[in-house]
Structure 1
Amino acid sequence: MTSHQSAQTMKPATAAKKLGVYLEATPAEFQEGVVSRTELNALQADPPEWLLELRRNGPHPRPVVAAKLGISISGLARGGITDALTTEQIDALKRDLPEWLQKERATQAEVRKEAARIKEKNAARGDQGGQAGS
């Protein structure tokens, strides 16, 4: 029995997610094959032109669109955005700043503020916990 180790591979959808690109916009050979960990590392270290172009202009997957707009993925859905968007479309939304986007940004700001408050509260509780046993 040989102790030969096989290369770890992943589905194209997983690799696209790790690369932050929209799978349907990638080249056919990327979509149809499997991607090894070595190939993924190579794509990240020295991205080919198609990957640079996708990252620059899109279309971008929903997590990237949400991050670029400063809202949650759920906020995108509430705003009626269910498909990938190009950088140009994202920039247009930022310029036009529709009411739904303003509301979602405000909601996201509140969520971040609340998360920071809870983190501070837990940190303070942790400090007190250390003193309680003294």
Structure 2
Amino acid sequence: MSQTLKPLTAAQKLGVHLPATPEEFQRAELTRNEVEQLKADPPPWLVELRRNGPFPRDVVAQKLGISRAGLARNGITESLDAEQIGVLLADPPPWLLKERRTYAATIEEHERAKDHRLHR
């Protein structure tokens, strides 16, 4: 018997915001194989969500080039869609520019520490 995933876990694995999915998806427990099948051959609703959102916060952070904590620090607590993200990217507010610098510095420091550990 294949392990089933709760709807939230399945949505996370698919990179979509659960409340934006169809009602039947929100109620279903899917197997890992079913989730893999959705990834391989996504139905129209999944293609649309992946293209236009609304996106989960981790995807929003990734698209903006900042951390999830950076979103929270700046009051972004809801999911955003592609249009909203596009507006932020087209004319980045000061907080977004600052968060991008902070995130880039953090990633750089993690890489430096990783390299240091590897070369010891």
Which of 13, 38, 50 is the matching residue for 2:8? 13
Provide Cα deviations, 1:85-122, integer angstroms capped at 9, x if missing partner: 00010010011200110110000111011112111211
Which of 104, 107, 124 is the matching residue for 2:102? 107
Counterpart Cα distance in 2 of 1:100 and 1:52: 31
Q: Which residue of 2 aligns with 1:77?
A: 72
Counterpart amino acid of residue 37 in structure 1 = R
Counterpart Cα distance in 2 of 1:38 and 1:19: 13
Are residues 1:43 and 2:76 paired? no
Q: Which residue of 1 aligns with 2:57?
A: 62
Structure 1 residue ranges without an equivalent (≥5): 1-5, 126-134
Q: Which residue of 2 aligns with 1:87?
A: 82
Please identify the structure whose Cα radius of gyration is greater.
1
Provide Cα deviations, 1:61-105, integer angstroms capped at 9, x if missing partner: 000000000000000001110000000100100112001101100
How many pairs were matched up?
120
Q: 4+ residue runs of structure 1 moved beyond 4 angstroms?
A: none
Counterpart Cα distance in 2 of 1:95 and 1:24: 27
Counterpart Cα distance in 1 of 2:27 and 2:91: 38
* 33-42 or 13-22, which deviates more: 33-42
Counterpart amino acid of residue 109 in structure 2 = E
Counterpart amino acid of residue 70 in structure 1 = G
| Identical-pair percentage | 57
Are residues 1:30 and 2:25 paired? yes
Q: Which residue of 2 aligns with 1:132?
A: none
Structure 2 residue ranges without an equivalent (≥5): none
Q: TM-score, normalised by structure 1?
A: 0.87
Q: TM-score, normalised by structure 2?
A: 0.97
Higher relative contact order (CA 8 A, sep 6+): 2
